[in-house]
């Protein structure tokens, strides 16, 4: 465990408290959610074993995504809500952002930990991201089983996100990818 990871965890607790503070407006909560995502992503990339031990990947999903999705779904289903169409649009945007986050996280994890997934196109093949210089001395090398677990975790949550927009199709696509992997 690095001292930096423990400090990130303390910062995450503050951000999670901010996200549930009823005195904060939507912009401040959004900012705290983004900061929490960034912080947890750093932890997962730099000290995966510690992050998994502290269940950071579960906290990331629950606090940065699932809780907000659940809240927006409840508001969108409420037929008495006069802002229902706006909430549905916000939900759609949030789901796109969540999908983008997990896709990008999966790309970064695979690149940093040199994980080869058959379903993944390497960043260099896309011409979008060059092999960025990562301070490898700051990264604690994880076990390969931990790398496989976190990649599977990303794929599962991508499968959790897609059905909100296309209920059957997304789950079937991601489920077939996860099942085809030899974890």
Q: What is the DSSP letter of 139?
A: S
The highest-level CATH class for domain 3-171 is mainly alpha
Q: pLDDT tens digits for the chain (183 residues)?
A: 578 889 999 999 999 999 988 888 889 999 999 999 999 999 999 999 999 999 999 999 999 999 999 999 999 999 999 999 999 999 999 999 999 999 999 999 999 998 988 776 666 666 655 545 455 557 889 999 999 999 999 999 999 998 766 544 444 455 555 555 554
Q: Give the closest residue to 105 by CA, choosing from 60, 171, 135.
A: 60
Beta bridge partners of 47: 140
Q: Give the closest residue to 7 by CA, choosing from 49, 37, 50.
A: 50
* Contacts for 131 with CB less than 8 Å, ≥ 6 apart: 111, 123, 124
Whole-model pTM: value is 0.82
């Amino acid at each position: 465990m690095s001292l930096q990871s423990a400090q990130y965890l303390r910062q995450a607790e503050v951000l999670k408290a901010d996200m549930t503070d009823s005195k904060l407006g939507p912009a401040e909560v959004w900012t705290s959610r983004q900061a929490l995502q960034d912080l947890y992503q750093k932890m997962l990339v730099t000290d995966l074993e510690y992050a998994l031990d502290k269940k950071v990947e579960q906290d990331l999903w629950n606090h940065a995504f699932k809780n907000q999705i659940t809240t927006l779904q409840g508001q969108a289903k409420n037929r008495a809500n006069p802002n229902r169409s706006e909430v549905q649009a916000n939900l759609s945007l949030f789901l796109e952002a969540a999908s983008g986050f997990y896709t990008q996280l999966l790309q970064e994890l695979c690149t940093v930990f040199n994980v080869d997934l058959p379903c993944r196109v390497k960043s260099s093949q896309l011409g979008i991201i060059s092999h960025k210089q990562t301070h490898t001395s700051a990264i604690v090398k994880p076990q390969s089983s931990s790398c496989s677990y976190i990649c599977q975790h990303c794929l599962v949550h991508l499968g959790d996100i897609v059905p909100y927009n296309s209920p059957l199709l997304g789950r079937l696509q991601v489920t077939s990818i996860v099942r085809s992997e030899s974890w």
